[in-house]
Structure formats: structure tokens, C-alpha cells
């Protein structure tokens, strides 16, 4: 095949219409001794490929235009922008990604940098120096980066001190607040602990035990300081304190019972006093005329009765387990006599206590209710502690 040779200046290969295809069995070599290859469109120069000391230079020929590398579907992957930046994109397929590959002698792994979903543009400005050993790259919140310590500085450091912020980006070891893994200690001249922030919510301290939990807290709905079982306020209150200093123990064992009918006593022996009515029985510890102590402790008991036709002596007894307390009274044959007692008794758990009465040979009657509200024979008690 013959060579195409063009002699003289400004020679052209001109095709009046259609495309020009160069199809050769070897390479196509464009050799321009003038150093420039220029791509034009309709007489307008678009791109010049030139060299500078044998460096290949791609230069747009229209001012303020960019060099873009697009994928087959039209997505721009690389944008060498006239604005002075290089853009890496991926269209609607995903974020652009910069991959830095390791030495192929070591493998084919890479480190990639890409952006997440952002609410706006972010520009990071790098520091002007390389920092010091151990420094970290920090931001001022506006994109300006600088080198600084990786963490806040710690003052007054010592073993087991609790660390707090100093209000200036630093940390302070509190000499009067320590924790050794088991005990939290608040020391100082006037140590105090505040639970809560004056808001409208419950505040509490929970003691988490193996089998049971207990709490001490302020119930915002009732304004009561409460000690109770469980981890939640308002469940089982054992003791409450109100704003006037009243202390209530709603679960403290206590009872009050009364004779709902008269009881005749005529024999010279102990007769259990029968109590057919009940005002209250906290803990349900009173049954069959007998109180059973739920726990060991000191208990206070009170009894009062009117004995009708008390012509001789009367002996009233408080009979706890293993003990007896007795009181004597003497009445008129045609009248009545009031008998009463108060006694503190030391009892073990499950010990019992009841009231008995002994009469001489006369026929006595323990007065029962008089009307619907008058209790004439009563027995009461409570746990003192």
C-alpha cells in the first residue's frame, strides 16, 4: 500500500461528508514536530495535547471549561475542574471513592475514602505543619483541622479519683470523690450527695440485692420520702415521711379487736376473752382471739373492759408464750368495774399472746358492744421495734 504524503505548509485531508476512518494493520502514530495535537469541533479548538520537557499535557482550548472522564452510561467519574479541584463521583450509583492500593508485592488490598450522606458541603483545611508525636487531627467545628492532644488533659490525677470536666475542655481528678471498684466515697469538709434536678419526676436510690431489692426515694406524685421494697416507687412502701415530719409505717404489725357481744364468766379458771369484731389487723396476725408475732421484737398490748355484776374480785391476764401478766380488780355485787392494762412484751417470732379472765364464784359478764359504735371490751397491740 502506498504512503499518503502531503508536501508544503498547512496541508489537509478533507472529507466532504461522513466520517473518516483510519484502519491500519499496525499502530496509528501521530507525530507532530510542532509539539501540539489539537482536537477541534466545527472549527473550534477543544483540546490540545502537548508536552513540556516530554511531560504529556492535556489542555482545554476553551476558557473556564473542564476535563471530564465519563463512563459508558454518561456518569462522570473524574472531573478535572476549572474551579481548581478534582471531583470523584459515581452518579446515582453511589458515592465517589478514592482507593489507595498497597504494594502488589504485599497483596491487592486497598484503603478507600468516600463520603456518607451529607446535609451540606464540607471542606477540610489541613494544618500547615506535621504536629508532634502522639498528636491527633482535630477540627474546630468549621472544617479547619489542626494537630492537638488526642484527649483532654487530666489535672490532679491520683489513684481511684473520680474524674470530672473542668469546664474548659480539660479533666480534673476529684480528691474528695473516690471509687475503688467497691466503695464510692464522698469526703471533704461538708460532703453532700444530691439526687435529682428539681424536675417533676421521682428520684430514688436502689439497693440491688441477691434476692430482694429495696429503695429510698422521693415520690413526686405524693411528695413523700419513701423507704420500700422493690426498685420502683409506689410499689411496697415500708416507711414514709411527709413534709410536716409525720412518719408512717403502713406495714408495721398492728391490730385492734373488740367483743361484739357480752361474755359470761362464772367459773374459777382462766377463760379466754372472745373478740368477735375487728377494727383493723395490719399483716393479718390476729385470729381465734390470739395474736401471733410475725417477727421478734418488743410489742405493746392494751386491754380494757367493763365487767358487769362484779361482786367479788376479778383477775385479768395477758398470756404471751411462756409468760403471764395479771391485774386484780374488786367490784360491787350489783355494780360494774372497769379493768384495763398496758404492757410491753418481748416476743420471739411465732410467739402468741391472748387475754384471759378469772372470776370467783360469782357470775360476771364482760360487756360487749353497746350500739353500733361503742366498743366496751377491746384488745389492741403493735410492734414497737
pLDDT at 286: 98
As a whole number of angstroms, the distance between CA 166 and CA 174 comes to: 10
DSSP letter assigned to residue 251: T
Report the chain's C-alpha Rg in angstroms.
50
With cut-offs at 50, 70 and 90, classify the pLDDT of residue 310.
confident
**pTM, 2 dp:** 0.59
Within the chain, how many helices (H) and strands (E) appear? 0, 32
Q: Which domains does the chain have, with CATH numbers?
A: 32-90 (no CATH), 203-248 (no CATH), 254-383 (2.60.120.40)
Q: What angle do CA 326, 328, 332 make, to 5 degrees?
A: 155
313, 267 contact by CB (below 8 A): no
As a whole number of angstroms, the distance between CA 162 and CA 304 comes to: 62
Largest CA distance in the chain: 164
DSSP for 271-289, written as a single string: EEPP--EEEEEETS-EETT
161, 187 contact by CB (below 8 A): no
Q: pLDDT tens-digit profile of 60-111?
A: 999 999 999 999 999 999 999 999 999 999 999 999 999 999 999 999 999 9
| Position 151 pLDDT exceeds 80 | no
**22 vs 361 pLDDT, higher one:** 22
Q: Given the DSSP bridges, would you call strands 145-149 and 154-155 parallel, antiparallel or unpaired? A: unpaired
| Position 1 pLDDT exceeds 60 | no
As a whole number of angstroms, the distance between CA 254 and CA 143 comes to: 72
Left, alpha or beta for 238 (phi > 0: left; psi -120 to 50: alpha)? alpha
With cut-offs at 50, 70 and 90, classify the pLDDT of residue 129.
very high
Arithmetic mean of pLDDT, 184-210: 90
pLDDT at 3: 64
pLDDT at 99: 95
**296 vs 167 pLDDT, higher one:** 296
pLDDT at 4: 66
With cut-offs at 50, 70 and 90, classify the pLDDT of residue 117.
very high
Amino acid at each position: 500500500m502506498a504512503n499518503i504524503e502531503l508536501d508544503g505548509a498547512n496541508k489537509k485531508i478533507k472529507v466532504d461528508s461522513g466520517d473518516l476512518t483510519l484502519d491500519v494493520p499496525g499502530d496509528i502514530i501521530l507525530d507532530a514536530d510542532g509539539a501540539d495535537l489539537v482536537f477541534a469541533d466545527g472549527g473550534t479548538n477543544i483540546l490540545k495535547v502537548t508536552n513540556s520537557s516530554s511531560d504529556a499535557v492535556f489542555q482545554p482550548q476553551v476558557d473556564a471549561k473542564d476535563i471530564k472522564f465519563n463512563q459508558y452510561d454518561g456518569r462522570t467519574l473524574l472531573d478535572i475542574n476549572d474551579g481548581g479541584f478534582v471531583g470523584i463521583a459515581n452518579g446515582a450509583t453511589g458515592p465517589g471513592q478514592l482507593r489507595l492500593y498497597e504494594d502488589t508485592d504485599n497483596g491487592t488490598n486497598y484503603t478507600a475514602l468516600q463520603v456518607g450522606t451529607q446535609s451540606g458541603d464540607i471542606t477540610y483545611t489541613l494544618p500547615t505543619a506535621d504536629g508532634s508525636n502522639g498528636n491527633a487531627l482535630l477540627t474546630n467545628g468549621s472544617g479547619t483541622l489542626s494537630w492537638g492532644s488526642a484527649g483532654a488533659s487530666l489535672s490532679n490525677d491520683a489513684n481511684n479519683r473520680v474524674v470530672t470536666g473542668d469546664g474548659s475542655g480539660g479533666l480534673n481528678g476529684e480528691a474528695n470523690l473516690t471509687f475503688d471498684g467497691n466503695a464510692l466515697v464522698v469526703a471533704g469538709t461538708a460532703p453532700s450527695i444530691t439526687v435529682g434536678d428539681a424536675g417533676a419526676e421521682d428520684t430514688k436510690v436502689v439497693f440491688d440485692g441477691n434476692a430482694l431489692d429495696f429503695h429510698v426515694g422521693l415520690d413526686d406524685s405524693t411528695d413523700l420520702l419513701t423507704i420500700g421494697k422493690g426498685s420502683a416507687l409506689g410499689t411496697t412502701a415500708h416507711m414514709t415521711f411527709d413534709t410536716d415530719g409525720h412518719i408512717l409505717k403502713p406495714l408495721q404489725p398492728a391490730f385492734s379487736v373488740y367483743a361484739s357481744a357480752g361474755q359470761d364468766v362464772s367459773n374459777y379458771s382462766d377463760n379466754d376473752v372472745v373478740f368477735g369484731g375487728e377494727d383493723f389487723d395490719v399483716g393479718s396476725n390476729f385470729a381465734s382471739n390470739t395474736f401471733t408475732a410475725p417477727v421478734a421484737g418488743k410489742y405493746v398490748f392494751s386491754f380494757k373492759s367493763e365487767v358487769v355484776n362484779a361482786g367479788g374480785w376479778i383477775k385479768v391476764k395477758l398470756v404471751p408464750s411462756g409468760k403471764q401478766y395479771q391485774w386484780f380488780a374488786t367490784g360491787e355485787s350489783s355494780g360494774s368495774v372497769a379493768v384495763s392494762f398496758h404492757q410491753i412484751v418481748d416476743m420471739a417470732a411465732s410467739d402468741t399472746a391472748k387475754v384471759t379472765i378469772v372470776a370467783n364464784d360469782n357470775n360476771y359478764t364482760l360487756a360487749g358492744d353497746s350500739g353500733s359504735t361503742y366498743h366496751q371490751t377491746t384488745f389492741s397491740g403493735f410492734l414497737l421495734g
